[in-house]
């Protein structure tokens, strides 16, 4: 399986920025897409954005589009989430995921095979 580790979370004021990293190791040969999800207390896990591992095509949830940017370094097996103009409603545990999904199915958490343990992002007002 793929082992994923997130880092970069923390406490930030509204309007500030954070950069999250997700390092992948293990058997990554079947990974076509990597994505970011987040989950607030009492809420379902929510899609944030994703990236096609080879082609680099990115896609985002409407709530973060224009504020968040996903990138990757294929050689390092690492994905990044640059978060700007953060809002209190962005507060959540952020998870990275890897899967063999393609296209629209990659918006669903059910279509990913491997998950990291999560990193807490807290945005204060």
What is the reported pLDDT for 28? 82
What is the reported pLDDT for 10? 97
Cα 29 to chain centroid, rounded: 19
| Per-10-residue mean pLDDT, the chain, length 125 | 95 98 90 95 95 92 97 93 98 96 90 96 97
Residue 53's closest CA among 37, 30, 25, 69?
Answer: 30
């Amino acid at each position: 399986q793929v082992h994923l580790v997130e880092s970069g979370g923390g406490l930030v004021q509204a309007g500030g920025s954070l950069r999250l990293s997700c390092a992948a190791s293990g058997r990554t040969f079947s990974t076509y897409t990597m994505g970011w999800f987040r989950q607030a207390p009492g809420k379902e896990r929510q899609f944030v954005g994703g990236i096609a591992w080879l082609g680099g095509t990115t896609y985002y949830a409407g709530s973060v589009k224009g504020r968040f940017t996903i990138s990757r370094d294929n050689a390092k097996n690492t994905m990044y989430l640059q978060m700007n103009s953060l809002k209190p409603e962005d507060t959540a545990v952020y998870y990275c995921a890897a899967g063999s999904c393609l296209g629209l199915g990659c918006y669903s958490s059910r279509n990913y095979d491997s998950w990291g343990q999560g990193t807490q992002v807290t945005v204060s007002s």
